[in-house]
């Protein structure tokens, strides 16, 4: 087997065996004559053999490209022979257009918190109408339980979840149910505990800074290899684990001043791999920039990513449903139904407009003639938008079932790619709170203090005495889904509604390209109703608490279409007059044109 390591500043590199081979003599690596800074050596090795590297007589360190860290962060790596795994299901892939994503955290989807336990629940998602499971990060992090965004090994899989083989079993099972798998990966930083990359080379730079400290080195000396390191890890997930797409965390924190941005280089590599594998692969960005260049083609100067999260849609929908107006909700809360209408038709709310939360203008307009709507993800809830609330309270904690049904219809019938957060489909009452498991007491206290500062800055209700301790095991335990809920009221009715609306969505043609005329919105801010027309489907929602709304369902300047009710929640009838539908308070009706 060939062992390779990039360590440009080292004068001597040896491989030290561990585990069952700990008694064997170390193996000296030689400089690679063709690649500066690289070391290499050939040695017999098998799947599971443990090893570490020592630089210039220093302590043993895990291989930065180790696919498995059986003893956790900081421990020796283990050889993984990907060819040993037996895949049971052939998989042609599943493209992004027409997709419905479901964000899932392995550690709290079930009480066991493992890939295998989560796989036992995949039939629920297939029956629901989901097309892709979107996993939160699964790279190794300190302790057993955590969100995963403080991972320290971008090539490896968290051992308590089930390690590399556990992830493969999950992906294989998902494919057997017809579900694609998207994996959340973090390229903008590594966790503070167990991160040994700086010992090997200039993986970080002080040229730029992020909320997590020094930035990943994407443009300073040595950045060629750093870029290859992260691109290589991304391709490994898609190739070796048969993942279908990657969600890229906080790409606005990827500081890169080079002529060809890291994201453009990554998207080109992924597109090339898709061609070689002959199955669709895609990249979804989380970006705070509202920048059309994120998904614009590389040929026209964009980064060429295939989609991006759209927090503006979330914020508009959230304020319209809840009336919250603090923090980043302030701009949307001034006229929330109008803000929702703007995002449904234009994608971004802040498209060069002033953002009071940022104290400056923000974003740029999308060109609907060049950007298919499916390139934006729409959602009512995500791990961030729930988990960054002080109590981690979901919408179901404050809204009526009727408003939850309205939210579902707007997300699932929007022109965008919809995404649900686990348990949303039945109005789960379990909270989703921030939790960690840092063994280092100083780091644990720093995390506690940091969260208290964040909560105070956002003016959340209560005091730090009310806010959950991230390090308390009970915080994680509260977040585990209660799988008895879907079978009882009021959850069962909401679950049936989600299945109904997703069934209607499946009957719609997959988006083939941008069509600005396909989406039209009318609304009444004061009466709190909105009508969304997306192709042949119309969604009429009445968000008012106690008043009935007569909503015109036709389109101005066009003959009234003949419509039929496809699905309804709450009080709905046709007594509103010609071309009108009467919708009760906190109710929704979905109508379709009769051919």
> What strands, in cross-sheet order, belong to the sheet with 537-542?
519-524, 529-534, 537-542, 587-593, 563-569
Q: Is 240 labelled a binding residue?
A: no
Cβ-based neighbour number of residue 356 at 10 Å? 12
Alpha helix (H) residue ranges in 459-534: 473-479, 491-506
Q: Is 314 labelled a binding residue?
A: yes
Cβ-based neighbour number of residue 42 at 10 Å? 11
Q: Is 317 labelled a binding residue?
A: no
Do the beta carbons of residue 358 and residue 350 sit within 8 Å? Answer: no
How crowded is the C-beta side of 257, counted as CA atoms within 13 Å?
8
Rounded Cα distance, 332 and 212, in Å: 28
Q: What six digits make up the tokens of 301?
A: 């100067």
Rounded Cα distance, 523 and 541, in Å: 9
Q: Is 385 labelled a binding residue?
A: yes
Is 116 in the active site?
Answer: no
Q: Is 383 labelled a binding residue?
A: yes
Q: Is 239 labelled a binding residue?
A: no
Q: Is 251 labelled a binding residue?
A: yes
Q: Tell me the DSSP string of 191-251.
A: -SSS--HHHHS--EEEEEEETTEEEE-SSSTTHHHHHHHHHHHHHHHHHHS---EEEETTG
The SS3 of residue 566 is strand
CA distances from 47 to 83, 110, 234 (A): 10, 29, 22
Rounded Cα distance, 93 and 490, in Å: 36
Q: Is 248 labelled a binding residue?
A: yes
Residues 6+ apart with CB under 8 A from 515: none
Rounded Cα distance, 196 and 214, in Å: 14
Q: Is 303 labelled a binding residue?
A: no
Q: Is 254 labelled a binding residue?
A: no
* CA 314 to chain CA mean position, Å: 14
Q: What six digits make up the tokens of 51?
A: 């090893």
Q: Is 384 labelled a binding residue?
A: yes
Q: Is 387 labelled a binding residue?
A: yes
Is 485 in the active site?
Answer: no
Q: Is 143 labelled a binding residue?
A: no
The single residue of 150, 184, 249, 351 carrying the catalytic annotation is: 249
Q: What six digits make up the tokens of 114?
A: 């493992």
> What strands, in cross-sheet order, belong to the sheet with 580-583?
549-552, 580-583, 572-573
Q: Is 386 labelled a binding residue?
A: yes
Q: Is 326 labelled a binding residue?
A: no
Residues 6+ apart with CB under 8 A from 558: none
Rounded Cα distance, 262 and 253, in Å: 12
CA distances from 535 to 157, 300, 524, 560 (A): 42, 29, 21, 15
Rounded Cα distance, 145 and 160, in Å: 8
Handedness of CA 33, 39, 44, 48 (dihedral sign): negative
The single residue of 286, 424, 485, 586 carrying the catalytic annotation is: 286
Burial class (CB in 10 A: 0-12, 13-18, 19+), 508: middle
- Binding-site residue positions for substrate: 247-252, 311-315, 383-388
- Binding-site residue positions: 247-252, 311-315, 383-388
- Annotated catalytic residues are 249, 286
């Amino acid at each position: 087997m060939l062992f390779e390591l990039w360590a440009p500043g080292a004068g001597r590199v040896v491989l030290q065996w561990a585990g069952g081979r700990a008694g064997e003599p170390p193996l000296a690596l030689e400089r690679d004559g063709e690649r500066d800074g690289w070391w290499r050596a050939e040695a017999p090795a098998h799947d599971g053999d443990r090893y570490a590297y020592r630089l210039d007589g220093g302590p043993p360190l895990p291989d930065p490209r180790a696919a498995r860290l059986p003893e956790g962060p900081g421990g020796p790596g283990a050889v993984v022979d990907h060819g040993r795994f037996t895949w049971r299901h052939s998989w042609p892939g599943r493209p992004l257009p027409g997709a419905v994503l479901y964000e899932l955290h392995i550690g709290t989807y079930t009480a066991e918190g493992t890939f295998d336990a989560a796989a036992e629940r995949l039939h629920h998602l297939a029956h629901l109408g989901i097309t892709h499971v979107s996993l939160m990060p699964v790279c190794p992090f300190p302790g057993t339980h955590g969100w995963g965004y403080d991972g320290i090994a971008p090539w490896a899989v968290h051992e308590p979840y089930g390690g590399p083989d556990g992830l493969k079993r999950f992906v294989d099972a998902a494919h057997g149910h017809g579900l694609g798998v998207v994996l959340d990966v973090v390229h903008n930083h590594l966790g503070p505990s167990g991160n040994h990359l700086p010992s090997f080379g200039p993986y970080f730079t002080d040229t730029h800074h992020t909320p997590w400290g020094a930035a990943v080195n994407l443009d300073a000396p040595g950045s060629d290899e750093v870029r290859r390191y992260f691109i290589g890890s991304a391709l490994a997930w898609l190739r070796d684990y048969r993942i279908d797409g990657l969600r890229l965390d906080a790409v606005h924190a990827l500081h890169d001043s080079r002529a060809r941005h890291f994201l453009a280089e990554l998207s080109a590599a992924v597109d090339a791999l898709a061609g070689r594998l002959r199955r669709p692969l895609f990249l979804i960005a989380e970006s705070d920039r509202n920048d059309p260049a994120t998904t614009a083609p590389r040929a026209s100067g964009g980064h060429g990513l295939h989609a991006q999260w759209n927090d503006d849609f979330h914020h508009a929908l959230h304020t319209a449903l809840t009336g919250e107006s603090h923090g980043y909700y302030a701009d949307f809360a001034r006229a929330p139904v109008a803000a929702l209408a703007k995002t449904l038709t234009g994608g971004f709310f802040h498209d060069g407009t002033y953002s009071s939360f940022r104290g400056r203008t923000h974003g740029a307009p999308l060109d609907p003639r060049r950007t298919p709507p499916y390139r934006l993800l729409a959602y009512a809830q995500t791990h961030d938008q729930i988990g960054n609330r002080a109590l981690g309270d979901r919408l179901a904690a404050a809204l009526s079932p009727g408003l939850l049904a309205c939210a579902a219809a707007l997300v699932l019938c929007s022109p965008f790619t919809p995404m649900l957060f686990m348990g949303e489909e039945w109005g789960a009452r379990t909270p989703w709170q921030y939790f960690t498991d840092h063994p280092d007491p100083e780091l644990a206290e720093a995390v506690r203090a940091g969260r208290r500062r964040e909560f105070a800055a956002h003016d959340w209700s209560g005091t730090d005495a009310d806010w959950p301790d991230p390090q308390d095991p009970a915080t994680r335990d509260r977040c585990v889904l209660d799988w008895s809920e879907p079978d009882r009221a009021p959850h069962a009715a909401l679950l049936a509604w989600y299945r109904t609306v997703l069934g209607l969505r499946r009957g719609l043609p997959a988006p083939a390209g941008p069509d600005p005329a396909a989406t039209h919105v009318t609304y009444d801010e004061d009466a709190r109703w909105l009508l969304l027309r997306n192709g042949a489907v119309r969604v009429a929602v009445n968000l008012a608490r106690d008043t009935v709304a007569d909503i015109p369902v036709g389109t101005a300047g066009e003959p009234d279409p003949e419509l039929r009710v496809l699905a309804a929640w709450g009080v709905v009838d046709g007594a509103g007059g010609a071309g009108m539908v009467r919708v009760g308070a906190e109710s929704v009706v979905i109508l379709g044109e009769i051919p």
